[in-house]
Amino acid sequence: MKKVICSEKAPGAIGPYSQAIEANGMVFVSGQLPIDATTGEMPEDIEAQTRQSLQNMKHILEEAGLTMSNVVKTTVFLSDMSLFAGMNGVYTTFFEGSFPARSAFAVKTLPKEALVEIECIAVR
């Protein structure tokens, strides 16, 4: 059985998908663009965009009753690998103790010309 997870503190889906789905004690959070749910705007630099994407992910996890410490895997999509260091510097501030497993790679383009998009899997 699956359950849809949706937070008003994170931007709504821009397509036919859910912000997150919970199934069998696992929460799968869709890729989070760096959009501020209040303003609909995106910050300009990679550090601010990474912070916003992770904050959106955090809000969705909180809606599911979880925290960032429940995250076991993330995938980071970058518009260019030259942005990796800037993303990584902010990324480290969102996790305490052991970090989740992670993949990070460059893609040709991201929706809305974003520099970064981050998805995760969390467990109860």
- The structure tokens listed for 86 are 């800037």
Long-range CB contacts for residues 67-71, cutoff 8 Å, separation at least 24: 68/94, 68/95, 68/96, 69/95, 69/96, 69/97, 70/27, 70/122, 70/123, 70/124, 71/95, 71/100, 71/120, 71/121, 71/122
pTM: 0.96
Sequence ranges of the domains in the chain: 2-123
Tens-place pLDDT, residues 8-56 = 999 998 889 999 999 999 999 999 999 999 999 999 999 999 999 999 9
Summarize the confidence of residues 1-13 as an average pLDDT. 95
Topology of domain 2-123 in CATH is 60s Ribosomal Protein L30; Chain: A; (3.30.1330)
Of the CA atoms within 13 Å of residue 38, those in its CB half-sphere come to 4
pLDDT at 3 exceeding the cut of 90: yes
